Amino acid sequence: MTGLDARTLAPHFSRMKAQYDDPAQCPVRNVLDQLADKWSVLIVTTLAERPHRFGELKRAIGDISQRMLTQTLRELQANGMIERTVFPTTPPSVEYRLSPLGRSFLTPLAALVEWAYANHPAIRAAREDFARAA
């Protein structure tokens, strides 16, 4: 039902664990760090729709501070997930769009999103049971 069992996945997880002691070198840790940041995910999913300008992104996300938006955009850019294009108009205009790498990331991200929606009821139920037991 899960498609893959623990045995099938073991090699991946072992590799991951083997390298976790050097976080900077661990691919999984890098991806996780990116995912860990809720702003990154929100930005990536917003850009999945279409390219956005700085102000557009800020309005689209709503409650992100300017500081966090700038900072997260730089990280995503540094990791090659998004491309930044400056149009030398007056006033200046900057467009952000997903790079091919960033678009390829949408696939595993979608798997996660689907799992989350499919299992959210189970998680909520588990929380209530746990709270009752405590």
The residue within the footprint of DNA, chosen from 68, 79, 97, 99 (CB under 7 A), is 68
Instruction: Compare residues 93 and 104 and give the one whose CB is closer to DNA.
Output: 93
- DSSP H helical ranges for the chain: 6-19, 27-36, 38-49, 54-61, 66-78, 100-133
Quote the CA–CA distance of 134 and 128 in Å, as a whole number: 10
- Which parts of this chain interact with a second copy (CB under 8 A)? 1-6, 8-10, 12-13, 15-17, 20-21, 23, 27-32, 35-38, 41-42, 45-46, 48-49, 62-63, 77-80, 98, 101, 103-117, 119-120, 122-123, 125-127, 129-131
- Which parts of this chain interact with DNA (CB under 7 A)? 37, 53-56, 64-68, 70, 73-74, 84, 91-94
